[in-house]
């Protein structure tokens, strides 16, 4: 029986994982995994973490000293894990590489349509008895050019939906897909994607190379009035540069499901707390900015799949099985 300590757990994690397996024993902690909470993992075989848990070199060293040999991520991205340190300390890292790319892709489209047709404003107006259309003019997505950065599983799901709107899809990826080219996607250099997109949607992972991919310089290369959508990772975007571009009326609108400093805010009810993060407070004031709190993955179908694959990862760890869900320097041929 493998004993697993869950960190960053919400009510929905308990709902899906509690009583989901009689093979393993689980304990649920609401706190994030960090240097002053890692001690909670003592006595467990593995930890199960989420997007904002920091699995850095110090945490991995301490986990290995406590004989904790597994970090199971309940997500696809693993930018929060120091893979070199995991190798050094002999801790296996497993993730859920794909649970529902459509969930995130559909959420990106929801952000686009909301911003394009201002339905978030219409909803609030009508609740207030205001049936006027004044200042609700939107724009058609049909006929627009959509730029996609990162054409992996989520990028491809996004492209399938976006093409249905009758849009032109241009894309940038380190490894362009032949199959997508055959489906009418035009790969081009990053600068050309930036310059030609009416809507730009980010679907690449966060790596040292993609950190602040959207910055003052790249924003300057974008079309005036373009829409930027980020459902990938907050640090892909330099928030200060984006705020400045919105203030200059250069960036036309912004839809984000992820935010640079989200670990201090997201997944918590802070409605009675003074928000000390001035950048999110500024973003919340723009009429052309829509923020959701990392809910792209959050569908019933995704949660069922995350649970199923995570339980399989626990089994594979217990049985010392190799799995395609493992991430390591060796397997990625990186770091
Ligand atoms: P994936 O691995 O299938 O695709 C990523 C694509 O990005 C690949 O085609 C890769 O070649 C490309 N890429 C890598 N480095 C690049 C670079 N420097 N420039 C351009 N392209 C580059 O990953 P998937 O499943 O499509 O997920 C993408 C990201 O979405 C994840 O890394 C994660 O950060 C984010 N995500 C967000 C969720 C949410 O709830 N908002 C949920 C799940 C994932």
Among 205, 249, 253, 246, smallest CA distance to 228 is for 253
The CA-CA-CA angle for residues 199, 204, 209, to 5°, reads: 115
Other beta carbons less than 10 A from residue 138's beta carbon: 13
Q: What is the spatial distance between Cα 41 and Cα 34, in angstroms, rounded to a whole number?
A: 11
- Span from the CA of 78 to the centroid of ligand 1 (angstroms): 10
pLDDT tier, 204 (very low <50, low <70, confident <90, very high otherwise): very high
C-alpha 202 to ligand 1 mean position (Å): 8
* Catalytic residue positions, numbered: 233, 262, 294
Task: Please give the pLDDT value at position 22.
Answer: 86
For 39-71, what is each residue's pLDDT tens digit? 999 999 999 999 999 999 999 999 999 999 999
Structure confidence by residue, pLDDT tens digits, 11-25? 999 999 998 888 899
Mean pLDDT of 274-293: 97
Q: Nearest 5°: CA angle at 171, between 169 and 177?
A: 105
> What would the pLDDT profile of 287-330 be if each residue is shown by its tens digit?
999 999 999 999 999 999 999 999 999 999 999 999 999 999 98
CATH 3.40.50.720 domain residues, the chain: 2-99+300-332, 101-291
Residue 331 has pLDDT above 80, yes or no: no
Backbone angles phi, psi at 72, to 5 degrees: -105, 120
325 in Cβ contact with 305 (< 8 Å): no
Q: In what order do the strands lie in the sheet with 24-28?
A: 24-28, 2-6, 46-49, 70-73, 92-94
Ligand 1 pocket, Cβ-based, cut-off 6 angstroms: 76-77, 98, 101, 104, 149-155, 172-175, 203-207, 209-210, 231-233, 257-258, 294, 296-297
- Res 237: pLDDT: 98
Write out pLDDT tens, residues 94-138: 999 999 999 999 999 999 999 999 999 999 999 999 999 999 999
Are the beta carbons of 149 and 200 closer than 8 angstroms?
Answer: yes
Is the whole model's pTM more than 0.85, yes or no?
yes
Which class for 184: exposed (0-12), middle (13-18), buried (19 or more C-beta within 10 A)? Answer: exposed
Q: By alpha-carbon position, which residue is closest to atom 39 of ligand 1?
A: 296
pLDDT at 333: 72
Tell me which of 2.60.40.10, 3.40.120.10, 3.40.50.720, 3.50.50.60 is the CATH number of domain 101-291: 3.40.50.720
pLDDT tier at 1, thresholds 50, 70, 90: confident
Average pLDDT (240-244) is 98
Calculate how far, in angstroms, residue 96's C-alpha sits from the geometric centre of ligand 1. Answer: 13
Do 88 and 106 meet the contact criterion of CB atoms below 8 Å apart? Answer: no
**pLDDT of the residue at 165:** 98
> Which DSSP helix (H) or strand (E) runs through 255?
strand 253-256
Q: Residue of the nearest CA to atom 37 in ligand 1?
A: 232
Reference 5, options 31, 21, 20, 322; nearest CA is 31
**2-99+300-332 CATH pick, 3.40.50.720, 1.10.260.30, 3.30.565.10, 3.40.50.1820:** 3.40.50.720
């Amino acid at each position: 029986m493998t004993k697993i300590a869950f960190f960053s757990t919400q009510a929905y994690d308990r709902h899906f994982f509690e009583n989901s397996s009689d093979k393993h024993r689980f304990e649920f902690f609401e706190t994030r995994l960090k240097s002053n909470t890692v001690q909670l993992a003592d006595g467990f075989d593995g930890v199960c973490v989420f997007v904002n848990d920091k699995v850095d070199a110090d945490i991995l060293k301490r986990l290995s000293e406590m004989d904790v040999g597994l970090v199971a991520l309940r997500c696809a991205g693993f930018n929060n894990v120091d893979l070199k340190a995991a190798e050094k300390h002999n801790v296996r890292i497993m993730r859920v590489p794909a649970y529902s790319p459509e969930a995130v892709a559909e959420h990106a489209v929801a952000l686009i349509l909301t911003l394009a047709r201002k339905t978030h404003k219409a909803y609030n107006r009508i609740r207030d008895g205001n049936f006027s259309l004044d200042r609700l003019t939107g724009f058609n997505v049909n006929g627009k050019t959509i730029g996609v950065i990162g054409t992996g599983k989520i990028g491809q799901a996004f492209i399938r939906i976006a093409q249905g709107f009758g849009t032109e899809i241009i894309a940038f990826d380190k490894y362009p897909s032949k199959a997508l080219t055959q489906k009418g996607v035009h790969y081009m250099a990053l600068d050309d994607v930036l310059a030609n997109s009416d809507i730009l949607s980010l679907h690449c992972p966060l790596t040292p190379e993609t950190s602040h991919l959207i910055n003052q310089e790249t924003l300057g290369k974008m079309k005036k009035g373009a829409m930027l959508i980020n459902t990938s990772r907050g640090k892909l975007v330099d928030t200060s540069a984006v705020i400045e571009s919105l203030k200059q009326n250069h960036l036309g609108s912004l839809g984000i499901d992820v935010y640079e400093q989200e670990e201090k805010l997201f997944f918590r009810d802070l409605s009675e707390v003074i928000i000390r993060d001035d950048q999110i407070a500024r973003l919340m004031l723009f009429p052309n900015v829509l923020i959701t709190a990392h809910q792209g993955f959050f569908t019933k179908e995704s949660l069922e799949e995350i649970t199923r694959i995570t339980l399989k990862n626990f089994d594979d760890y217990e049985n010392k099985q190799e799995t395609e869900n493992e991430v390591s320097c060796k397997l990625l041929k990186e770091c």
